[in-house]
Amino acid sequence: MVSEKKKAIAVLSGGLDSTVATSSFKDEYEIHALTFNYGQRSAQREVKAARSICKKLNMKHTVLELPWLANLGGSALTSEEEIPEIKEHELDDKEICDETARKVWVPGRNVVFTAIATSFAEAEGAEIIIVGWDLEEAVTFPDNSKEFLDAFNKVLAIGSPDDIRIEAPVIGMSKREIVEFGEKIGAPMYMSYSCYKDQEEHCGVCESCMRRKRAFKEAKIPDKTLYME
């Protein structure tokens, strides 16, 4: 008799990092991917990307609506405030990136997403929660950091009756290293959507797009995603 795969919950935004992170566990776990619509401008693009990725990887997919998160305000991602643009040479300028990070910060987003994923993990008997937190974004987004990961795993060890842990396979990687890793494992990176703006093609000028473009360029791997001219 063939034994059943272990179960996992993935927080899959449809972006590059979560796509690679989730793909790295696809052969070992039966994955149920969660995508959150919290009123972000690119919600429909992200959901479409995540749905396609889940179909490609043969994973269960659930979209969860969190309209109240957008109503908290304060983020350019969930309001009519202008999305900040950035140049490639500014990507390593912490002062500039701190400013753009503040403009797109969504209050408690990863805390909320990970807590909800924990509920699914307990309910479904999943052993791990897969997230796409990474080294490069941790510089300006503290909820992507190794410290945040370790702290949340301590919360789970204390607060959950089950043995659940968060796995962040790209947390020590730059975007270039994530692209290289994704290429190595055959992750469907071409299906992912990284842009902060709500349009069919990537804008190529928001910080998320710029980091993606630089990563593929440095890795010398073609990015098959469409960009505006």
Task: Give the pLDDT band of residue 21 (cuts 50, 70, 90).
Answer: very high
Over residues 121-177, the pLDDT tens digits come to 999 999 999 999 999 999 999 999 999 999 999 999 999 999 999 999 999 999 999
How crowded is the C-beta side of 157, counted as CA atoms within 13 Å? 6
Binding site residues for ATP, as ranges? 12-22
Phi/psi at 177 (5° precision): -65, -35
Domain 6-219 indexed as CATH 3.40.50.620: yes
Neighbours of 38 (CB within 10 A): 21
- As a whole number of Å, the CA-based R_g of the chain is 17
Binding site residues for Zn(2+), as ranges? 195, 203, 206, 209
Residue-level pLDDT at 172: 97
Binding site residues, as ranges? 12-22, 195, 203, 206, 209
Ranges of each domain in the chain: 6-219
| 219, 180 contact by CB (below 8 A) | yes
- Listed in sequence order, the DSSP H helices in the chain are 16-23, 43-57, 67-71, 94-104, 109-124, 135-138, 146-159, 175-185, 207-219
User: What six digits make up the tokens of 16?
Assistant: 């590059």
Over residues 46-95, the pLDDT tens digits come to 999 999 999 999 999 999 999 999 888 779 999 989 999 989 889 989 89
